[in-house]
Amino acid sequence: MTLRAIIIGAAAGGGLPQWNCAAANSRAAWDDHRAPRATQSALAVTVDGDAWALVNASPDLRGQVLATPELQPRPATEAGLRNSPIKSVLLTNGDIDHVAGLLTLREGHTFDLFATPAIHAVLDANPIFEALARDRVARRPAALDAPFALLPGLTATLYAAPGKVPLYMEGETVETGIEGEQTVGVALSDGRRTLHYIPGCARMTPALAERLGGAAAVLFDGTVFHDDEMARAGVGTKTGARMGHMAMAGPEGSLAAFEGLDVGRKVYVHINNTNPVWDPRSPERARVEAAGWEVAFDGMEIVP
Ligand code: MLT
Ligand code: MN
C-alpha cells in the first residue's frame, strides 16, 4: 500500500486559459498550443492503484477523467458495466471550483462524500446536489483533527486552514482568515508517508507550520505570486488576501513561510491564470524553483 497522487487539475478557479480572459497567460494559451494549459483544482489519490479518491470535484472533472486512464471505468466488474474506480470524494471547501464537479458524478454511481459538517451544510442547502441520490452517495461528515479512512489503507485527517466562506456566500463584510470548518487542509497517509494538500490558505500560522514540519510532501496554495497580481495583470482589483489566498512573494508569503520548514517535496497547486510562474521562462518561476518549489501541471504524479 503506497500512497500515489495525481494532480488532475493544477489551476485555480477559471483554469488556464480562462474562458473570458485575454491577459498574458491566457492569451499565450489561446494563441499557442505549446503554452501551458491547466484545468481547475483537484487531486486524485490511491494506495492500491485500483480504488481512487478525489480531493475536490472540479468543474473540469469530466475532462480530467478523459485525461487520466486510472480514473476510467474498468472493462467489467462485479458492479457491472457501469463502474468507476472513484470510490470517495473529499471536499476541502465549498468553492465552485471544488464542488461543481459533483454534478458530473451523478448517474447512479455509489461513493462516499466526505466534508466537514459546515461544508455538508452548504451542499444540503443547495437542492441541485440532490442529483447525487443519498442512498448511493453517502454524505459523511468528517470532524477536524479526527483521522478517518478515505479509502481502505488511506487515512485522511482534516485540519483548519485560514480561509473564508465560499465567494457565493459572502455577505457585506467578509472575514478572510477564519480558522474552522469552512476551509481545510488534509493530511493523507498510507501509514508510512504523509502528503498534505492545501489548495487554499490565507496565512501561515505557527500551528500549521508545526503540522507541516517533517511531511514527505506538501501541495500548497499557489494562487497568486504577488498579492496585487490581478491588478498587475489588468484583470481586476481583488487581492490574493481578499480571496483568502496568501501570495507566494512578500514577507507574509508562502516562499518565506516555508523557509526552514523540513518538507520533502513542495509543490504549488491551485495556481491562478494571472500567476507569472505559469511561464517557464519567467523570473518568478526561477525564483520559486530556486527556493525548492515545483510548479504543478495537469497529470503530475507525486509518490511522496
Ligand atoms: C477561490 O479559490 O478563491 C475561489 O475558487 C474563487 C471562486 O469561487 O471563483
Ligand atoms: Mn479556488
Assess contact for 200 and 167: CB atoms under 8 A.
Answer: no
Residue 257 has pLDDT above 90, yes or no: yes
The pLDDT value recorded for residue 215 is 97
Residue pLDDT, tens place only, 181-205? 999 999 999 999 999 999 999 999 9
The pLDDT value recorded for residue 275 is 98
Per the prediction, the chain carries an average pLDDT of 97
**Does residue 35 have its Cβ closer than 6 Å to ligand 1?**
no
Confidence label for 78 from pLDDT (cuts 50, 70 and 90): confident
Cell of 84: 468507476
The pLDDT value recorded for residue 76 is 80
Number of H helices and number of E strands within the chain? 8, 14
Which atom of ligand 1 lies at the shortest distance from residue 270's CA? 2
Query: If you measure from the C-alpha of residue 150 to the centroid of ligand 1, how many angstroms do you get, rounded to a whole number?
Result: 25
Residue 77 has pLDDT above 80, yes or no: no
**Superfamily holding 4-298:** Ribonuclease Z/Hydroxyacylglutathione hydrolase-like (3.60.15.10)
Q: Taking residues 273-286, what's their average pLDDT?
A: 98
**Does residue 222 have its Cβ closer than 6 Å to ligand 1?**
no
Strand residues in 16-123 grouped as ranges (E): 42-46, 52-55, 86-90, 111-115
Nearest bound ligand to the CA of residue 165? 1
Nearest bound ligand to the CA of residue 242? 1
Residue pLDDT, tens place only, 202-232? 999 999 999 999 999 999 999 999 999 999 9
Rounded-to-integer distance, Cα 17 and Cα 36, Å: 9
The pLDDT value recorded for residue 182 is 97
